[in-house]
Amino acid sequence: MAIDPEKNTSTRSSAVAAFNERIRNKTARVGIVGLGYVGLPIALLFSAKGIEATGFDIDPLKVATLRQGRSYIKHIPEADIAGALAHRRFDATTDFSLLREVDAIIICVPTPLDDHREPDLTYIRSTAESIAANLRPSQLVVLESTTYPGTTEEVVLPILEKSGLRCPIAPYTVENSEAVGNTPFEPDFFLAFSPEREDPGNPNFRTHQIPKVVGGVNAPSAMATQALYQAAFDKTVLVSSSRAAEMTKLLENIYRSVNIALVNELKLLCQRMGLDIWEIIGAAKTKPFGFSAFYPGPGLGGHCIPIDPFYLTWKAREYEFPTRFIELAGEINTSMPHHVVERLAGALNERNKCLHGSRILVLGVSYKKDIDDLRESPSLRIIKLIQDGGAVVDYNDPYFERLHKMRQYDFGLESVPLTEESLARYDAVVIATDHSSYDYEFIGRHAQLIIDTRNAMGRLNQYREKIVQA
C-alpha cells in the first residue's frame, strides 16, 4: 500500500513527508554499512531501482575491489557492480564521515557470539558510534543485523542520542498496513529494525522478492522505513515495534534450527535401527499438508541458524524464562560434527584401520552447497576434530583455493585436485558439502571409503559397500 502522509496523524510532520517525497522522486541517497553477504546485495538493489547507494566498510580491500567493478562474492555478478558504477548510482568508501550526506543508513554488520556463547554487539556498537558522530536531523537509521529483541531500543538508540538528537520510543498500532500512533514530539531522526532475509545461492528468490519486515521505535520511524523499502522491495510487512521485528527474525531461524535438530536426532536413531532417514523423509513429504521437509546434515552453518537462537536464550534469562527446547536443539546440532568423526573412525576400524595416521579428504568446506561462504561451516569443525584424532587431512572445494586464517581456525591448507590417483590414496573421503559440481559417480568409483553426510551418494547403489551414511 502506498503511503499518504495526509491520511495519518503519525506521518503529518514535515520531516516524514519530506523524507517520503525524496524516496518517491528518487533524490534520496542510501548508505549501507557493512558490504558482506547482506549489505552488498541491498546496496546493488537500491542502485538498480534508481536510488543512489553508498557502501561503507572498514575493509579497504573490499572497497577497492568494488570500485574496480569486481566482486568478492561469487553469486553476485561483477556486471551488476560495474553497471551500478557506470550509472553513478553506487560507490564504496571507508570514510564514515560521508554518512552525514545520505538520507537513510542501513546497518548490516556481523553479530557473532563470544567464547561464552553470549551476544557480541561490538560491531553494532562501533557502527552506531560512527553514525552518532555524523548524524543529522531527519535521517533514517535501520538496523538489519540479526540480534535479540530490544537491541534497537536499548543499545542503538542511546548511542545515537549522544548526538544531541532525539527519537522517542512510542507505541503504535498497524492498521491497513500503516503505523498509527502518537509520538510525544516530532523525532529529530528516525530509527527502525528490518531483519535481513538473504539466502545466498538460492536461485528461487532474488533479494527484492523476499517480503521486507519493518518495525519502528515510533510510528513516524515505521512509516519512513516502510517508504524506503517500498522503493526497492516487492512487498513490505509492517509490525508494531522494532522488538516485534527483531523477534520475527529469531522465530524464523529458531524454527529451522529446531526442525533440523529433530531430523538430526531421528537420523541417529534410524542408523541404530537400520533405517534410511532419507527414504523416510522422502515418503513423509508426499503428504500434502501438515508436514514440511527438513534434512539432516553434519551440523549447522552460516551466520544465522547456528548463532541466532542463542541470542534469544541469552535475552530470555533477563525474564527468568528457560528456553529448554531451543537450547536442546542447539546441543543436538552442535554435536553433529562429533558424530561424523565417530562414524568415520568406526568405518575405518571395520576395515582394520584407525583414525590416527590415516589420510582423510574432506569434500566441501562452505556451509552449504554451491556458495563461497565459510561462516560457521561444520566442515571446519570436522577438519579440526579429524586432525585432533591424529589423521592427516586435506580438502577440496571449488569455491575456496585455500583456507585463510579465521577467528577459530588456521589450517594453512590449500584445495587439492580431484583425480583418480588422488582419490585412491586417501583412506576415506568425507562428503561434508554436496556441491553440484562434484562428479559423485567418479568419486564413488575411485574412493576407498566414503562418509556421506548429505546423502550425495544416495542413488549410486553400485558403490554402497564403500558408503557409510553419517
List pLDDT tens digits, range 294-327.
999 999 988 788 888 999 999 999 999 999 999 9
Question: pTM for this structure?
Answer: 0.91
Do 204 and 274 belong to one domain?
A: no
pLDDT in tens, 436-460: 999 999 999 999 999 999 999 998 9
Distance CA 83, CA 449 (A): 48
Given a cut of 90, whether residue 150 has pLDDT beyond it is: yes
User: Tens of pLDDT along 242-295?
Assistant: 999 999 999 999 999 999 999 999 999 999 999 999 999 999 999 999 999 999
Q: Determine the average pLDDT of the residues in 334-347.
A: 97
Catalytic, 167? Answer: no
Whether the per-residue pLDDT at 424 is higher than 80: the answer is: yes
225 and 289: one domain? Answer: no
Residue 17 lies in a domain: yes
List 108, 167, 270, 304, catalytic entry: 304
Domain assignment of residue 249, yes or no:
no
Task: Confirm if 235 and 28 have CB atoms less than 8 A apart.
Answer: no
> Who wins on pLDDT, 407 or 132?
132
Domain total in the chain: 2
User: Is there a single domain that holds both residue 168 and residue 314?
Assistant: no
More confident residue, 202 or 6: 202
Give the closest residue to 377 by CA, choosing from 345, 399, 355.
Answer: 399
- At 75-118, the pLDDT tens digits run 899 999 999 999 999 999 999 999 999 999 999 999 998 888 88
User: Do residues 23 and 161 both lie within one domain?
Assistant: yes
Asked if the model's pLDDT at residue 13 lies above 70, the reply is: no
Boundary (domain end) residue, out of 177, 210, 240: 240
% pLDDT > 70, the chain? 97
Does residue 49 register a pLDDT over 90?
Answer: yes
Model confidence band, residue 43 (pLDDT cutoffs 50, 70, 90):
very high
Q: Please, are residues 13 and 220 in contact by the beta-carbon 8 Å criterion?
A: yes
Question: Does residue 2 register a pLDDT over 60?
Answer: no
* Cβ atoms of 426 and 448 closer than 8 Å: yes
Instruction: Looking at the structure, tell me whether residues 233 and 84 fall in a common domain.
Output: yes
User: Which amino acid type is present at position 389?
Assistant: G
Q: How many CB atoms lie within 10 A of CB 23?
A: 24
Instruction: Give domain status of residue 245, yes or no.
Output: no
| Mean pLDDT along residues 419-443 | 97
Residue pair 172/181 in contact (Cβ under 8 Å)? The answer is yes
Q: Give the pLDDT band (50/70/90) at residue 9.
A: very low
Specify whether 435 is located in the same domain as 465: yes
7 has pLDDT over 60: no
Evaluate whether residue 266 is within a structural domain.
yes
Residue 44 lies in a domain: yes
The one-character DSSP state at 362 is E
User: Is residue 247 included in any domain, yes or no?
Assistant: no
Same domain, 10 and 62: yes
More confident residue, 114 or 63: 63
Could you report the per-residue pLDDT of 242-253, keeping only the tens digit for each? 999 999 999 999
Quick one: pLDDT at residue 6? 40
> Quick check: is 252 in a domain?
no
The answer to whether 219 and 94 have CB atoms below 8 angstroms apart is no
Asked whether residue 282 falls in the same domain as residue 374, the answer is yes
Do residue 68 and residue 167 come from a single domain? Answer: yes
Q: What is the pLDDT of residue 223?
A: 95
Closest alpha carbon to 455 in 293, 223, 243: 293
Distance CA 147, CA 275 (A): 39
Question: What is the domain range of residue 11?
Answer: 5-240
Looking at the structure, tell me whether residues 277 and 233 fall in a common domain. no
Is 55 a domain residue? Answer: yes
The pLDDT assigned to 185 comes to 85
What confidence score (pLDDT) does residue 305 get? 83
What's the pLDDT band for 205 if we cut at 50, 70, 90? confident
Q: Does 10 have pLDDT greater than 60?
A: no
Give the helix ranges, DSSP H, for 133-285. 151, 157-160, 219-230, 242-273, 277-284
CA distance 321 to 297: 30
Residue 8's pLDDT is 42
Long-range pairs, 444-447, Cβ under 8 A, ≥24: 446/420, 447/423
Query: Which cell numbers in the block locate residue 21?
Result: 517525497
Q: Based on the fold, state whether residues 167 and 300 are members of the same structural domain.
A: no
Do residue 310 and residue 279 come from a single domain? yes
Whether the pLDDT of residue 31 is over 90: the answer is yes
Residue that the C-alpha cell 556421506 belongs to: 452
Q: What is the CATH number of the domain that holds 320?
A: 3.40.50.720
Per-residue model confidence as pLDDT tens digits over 392-415: 999 999 999 999 998 889 999 999
